[in-house]
Structure 1
């Protein structure tokens, strides 16, 4: 939108954080970008009065799933419902995954996934290619070409049938990533340990959801993180260990960082707010809390909060995995007698990601406002090659802004949310602080519960390569 006025939009009396200091300013926006930050700005086509509320960068959720089938379960969110839910929760950029099967051509899979986003997404998006087979075509042609084309953040797995890669394949991929400046996200759990323990538990008739935690112990995570850190050290690649769940897992990351390895850690709200005891609920209710790695203990929660405050945990993502609880394509597609190893892993949480951290992290004093902004937006934008366009309030950056009401209190209910899932694991939780207005590239798309943005307005944002230092 271009008008005769100096600005298309001014956000008036915004409390904007610089470090841990907060100042009241006006934000002037033109052509979707922030053009001025000053005490008072006039000559605008539209005014949004922030009324002295916090105005923070729009959230960047660089780990979420939508519009993808996995093992017979199907995501309840496509790009239309998923990005609507994201926007209502104060997110302005997402980065989901193009899942290529072992025999699928990687470049074609990514292109088809991007086409599904076009015309559907309400907010901006990048895409992570997921590599499930390190073929010569992938290593020599598809992956280098995709990195050059703006897909410079990819994901690999060390576990799950059909997804896991062998050590040699991982090293080959890390070498290509290091050569071309891509970030490699890793789901790090030792598959052989998990398979052995799962087999033993099933043979002994231990089928309930609570045994999921026993089948995927901390040592499986710890070993895999240590191995990936060693591989990154050997190849010079930059890696991000996703959904770190435990103190021991985070310690492996920090030890490698002290050696100079280019390794980072991410965690998710479920690891900060739930424990393995939530798996032990009546009947199959524990299935609503099943994700991998599983939730751990309160001591692990404390370690993760401390890591976030100290900076060793760089990114906070939702890992939104929107499987319905009931139905033929949901968590319980194998029926009421499903074993824990037959239940789809993953929790919904895209819309609540920011409010949960704001309430339980910032307002509870566990992290500072600057740390909230860093782990929920800025760091993800930088690591995934989206900065400075995304993740910060800076001159020239996209005008992705969220106005927060610090005093609003919300009791979470499934009916409150906008995703396609039939439950929320956060049902009944009390949250203080809520994103009341979401602005994407200078356009107000959510305002006090009113949906103003249209599906299809979201744009693809290229992920820029990060060359070796």
Structure 2
């Protein structure tokens, strides 16, 4: 029936990317947007009606940069981290998967992921060894059409934690040496199959030398961490990979850009053409500086200066930054702090998936730095387009998945780890009062989160999203 649906959202101020804010009702049927209509709601039959009066409806956020399955196996991590994601209005999460063996074994990870997510999910494959390059066409067949390059691994900074085998615990170490040969091979093969290539741009030789010097001088704290992994090492790596990018006509996506120097380096390379360039920043580069007084803020690349923070807001506001990714790492405080509790022994990375939207709404929209339309672009629309999910994801239009975040710009909450419902028992936003929160998260027509509470019966509703999506 034309005037019937499963779910009807009434009185909605709908944020439609590239269109604007539209006051309308949203009809949802079979997990899809059926129609946007101004018909009187009492003329429409629906199993459930949701009144969104006074609130905005955004396309569900897509977090393109999530590490989970490293400190707990994916069969456990998917439950806790997709739950935390739903608290923050995230409806799709893309996992940074790191395997040391052949990616022909990725099916184990896919099997263990199935039935353990509250929200939808996809995967980026980290190519860490030359032998894995030949797996790239196979990955594309599975719908894993994006590859991660860790340029920061090499010299004596070659240690990384791998994703755990499903059902196992502990940590799994690996050593990676990102040589020019390996770098070139990944970009060449990835470009051949039209994959998006994600780049962690840091020069390990520069960082290693600086860190050795910093330790010898007894330096400490986040300022020392930033000084010893300087933005110049990012800029140099951006230029290096761009040479290969132009040679092979690559789609290069630079993850976690948080410094003026790195930003300028990408823009300089973008102007040369012959390669597509995308820029991701993270919420922590918009809210924290080296003055943050806790090593819980250790991350790579490091949190930078106040000037860098202002540059990132400007780039976000002016359309230079394409996406927001959280670089979420699901670890716990006792792991994070390391054996000595100093910046050198602490683990890099911290949780952030649940606070992505609240940070942008609170510090961005409510403080007049960016518009709510811009939030929808950088958290959903652009991400969906870059990673081959659009128009299934990333917008609110008939035929698209009914992935929605209903947000209240006036709702203020004090952040605590308990509020965020992650495996992690800490957050760098602990105690922050953020104004602007999702009050409902809907994934393909199912309400997963309402007023901060997760519907546990929805566990397993989340599906793997192969890319590019065939619609």
| TM-score in terms of structure 1 length | 0.90
Q: Secondary structure at the match of 2:108?
A: helix
Q: Which runs of 4+ in 1 moved over 4 A?
A: 73-77, 207-210
Which residue is 2:34 aligned to? 35
Shift, 1:320, TM fit: 0.5
Shift, 1:20, TM fit: 6.8
State how 1:21-60 maps to structure 2 within 5 Å. 21-40=20-39, 42-60=44-62
Q: How far does the alpha carbon of each residue in 1:228-249 deviate from its partner, in whole angstroms, 9 at most, with x for none?
A: 2222112111011100010111
- Alpha-carbon RMSD: 2.1
CA distance in 2, matches of 1:341, 1:132: 24
Match of 1:331 among 336, 341, 357: 336
Q: How far does the alpha carbon of each residue in 1:148-184 deviate from its partner, in whole angstroms, 9 at most, with x for none?
A: 2200012110113123411221111111111101001
Q: How far does the alpha carbon of each residue in 1:71-114 deviate from its partner, in whole angstroms, 9 at most, with x for none?
A: xx99997000000000010000000122112xx11221x22222
Shift, 1:449, TM fit: 2.3
Which residue is 2:297 aligned to? 289
Which residue is 2:280 aligned to? 266
Which residue is 1:354 aligned to? 357
Q: Secondary structure at the match of 2:62?
A: strand
Which residue is 1:11 aligned to? 9
Q: Secondary structure at the match of 1:119?
A: coil
CA distance in 1, matches of 2:243, 2:318: 23
Which residue is 2:145 aligned to? 152
Which residue is 1:188 aligned to? 201
State how 1:55-134 maps to structure 2 within 5 Å. 55-69=57-71, 78-101=77-100, 104-108=101-105, 110-134=106-130
C-alpha contact 1:66 1:75 (8 A) present in aligned 2: yes
Match of 2:241 among 213, 223, 228: 228
Q: Secondary structure at the match of 1:245?
A: coil
C-alpha contact 1:77 1:420 (8 A) present in aligned 2: no
Q: How far does the alpha carbon of each residue in 1:375-410 deviate from its partner, in whole angstroms, 9 at most, with x for none?
A: 111111111111111111111010001111111111
Shift, 1:356, TM fit: 0.3
Shift, 1:262, TM fit: 0.7
Higher mean displacement: 182-191 or 46-55: 46-55
Which residue is 1:305 aligned to? 313
Q: How far does the alpha carbon of each residue in 1:213-256 deviate from its partner, in whole angstroms, 9 at most, with x for none?
A: 22201111111112122221121110111000101111111112
CA distance in 2, matches of 1:367, 1:164: 40
Flag structure 1 segments of 5+ consecutive residues without an equivalent.
Answer: none
Q: Say whether 1:441 aligns with 2:454.
A: no
CA distance in 2, matches of 1:386, 1:23: 23
C-alpha contact 2:75 2:112 (8 A) present in aligned 1: no
Higher mean displacement: 353-362 or 457-466: 457-466
Higher mean displacement: 347-356 or 224-233: 224-233
Q: Say whether 1:457 aligns with 2:461.
A: yes
C-alpha contact 1:77 1:419 (8 A) present in aligned 2: no
CA distance in 2, matches of 1:91, 1:249: 27
C-alpha contact 2:198 2:255 (8 A) present in aligned 1: yes
C-alpha contact 1:61 1:376 (8 A) present in aligned 2: yes
The count of aligned residue pairs is 444
C-alpha contact 2:406 2:438 (8 A) present in aligned 1: yes
Shift, 1:23, TM fit: 2.2
Q: How far does the alpha carbon of each residue in 1:55-84 deviate from its partner, in whole angstroms, 9 at most, with x for none?
A: 110000010111114xxx999970000000
